[in-house]
Amino acid sequence: MIQLEPIVNVLLHFFGFFVAMYGLSAIHFEKALRQGRTFQAQVLYIGLSMGLGYLIAQFLKQLMLP
């Protein structure tokens, strides 16, 4: 029998990551940082997306618990 919980966890984390990326795409990190630091802005963008995606997934998992 296939366990569905790990599959749901992975899907929730992907969903949370993409929702966070979509929300953070409205912010221009390049303008907030120094000129020519686009790589650092991209790393910041990905790191914040991962952190927010994790929090979104944990929140949704807590809502789904019986």
**Residue partners of 19: CB distance under 8 A and separation at least 6:** 53, 56
Question: Which pLDDT does position 11 carry in this prediction?
Answer: 93
pLDDT tens per residue across span 12-62: 999 999 999 999 888 877 777 788 877 888 888 899 999 999 999 999 999
Residue 19 · residue 59 · CB < 8 Å:
no
State the total domains in the chain. Answer: 1
Return the pLDDT at 2.
77
Q: Can you give the pLDDT at residue 13?
A: 94
The domain in which residue 34 lies consists of 5-64
Is pLDDT of 1 > 70? Answer: no
pLDDT for the residue 66? 65
